[in-house]
Amino acid sequence: MKKTKGFINEFKEFIRRGNVMDMAVGIIMGFAFTAIVNSLVNDIIMPLIGLIFGGIDFTSLKIVITEAQGDIPEAAVYYGNFIQAIVDFLLIAFSVFVIIKLINNFHKKKEEEAEAPKEPAEDTLLLREIRDLLKK
């Protein structure tokens, strides 16, 4: 029983760590972000691209290998779905790139502000002036 209690306590400690919770939040946000990008692609971008190419719905593009016969469905290569997946991937990758770029720029500005020499406080300047006058 001692091993079980130790194992369970160790597991609880593992779950309570901040990085595990951060990872869980990241995964949940990733799913939500994916839903947004999929909607952007499927509902806005692909219909516009379809209009440019003459009203084509890319997801319906296919090469039929054998026609449907009775209860047997057709056998086809749905290359339109592949095109859709490529567009989804490129938009998600671009969105993640832009977000990371913005975050990096934000951190870079903060670091530059921290490294920049700050003006001394007004009372410090006054004390320096008094010191300099007393030296004379």
The pTM for the full model equals 0.53
Side chain identity, residue 130: I
Provide the angle, in degrees to the nearest 10, between the axes of the packed helices 18-39 and 2-16. Answer: 50
Residues present in the chain in total: 136
Do 94 and 45 meet the contact criterion of CB atoms below 8 Å apart? Answer: no
Architecture per CATH, 2-135: Orthogonal Bundle (1.10)
SS3 76: strand
**Cβ atoms 59, 80 nearer than 8 A:** yes
d(CA 22, CA 16): 10
pLDDT digits (tens, 9 = 90+) for 19-69: 777 788 888 888 888 888 888 888 888 788 878 878 777 788 899 999 989
H or E element at residue 66: strand 63-66
Rounded percentage of the chain residues whose pLDDT exceeds 70? 96
Between 120 and 1, name the one with better pLDDT. Answer: 120
Q: What does the domain layout of the chain look like in residue ranges?
A: 2-135
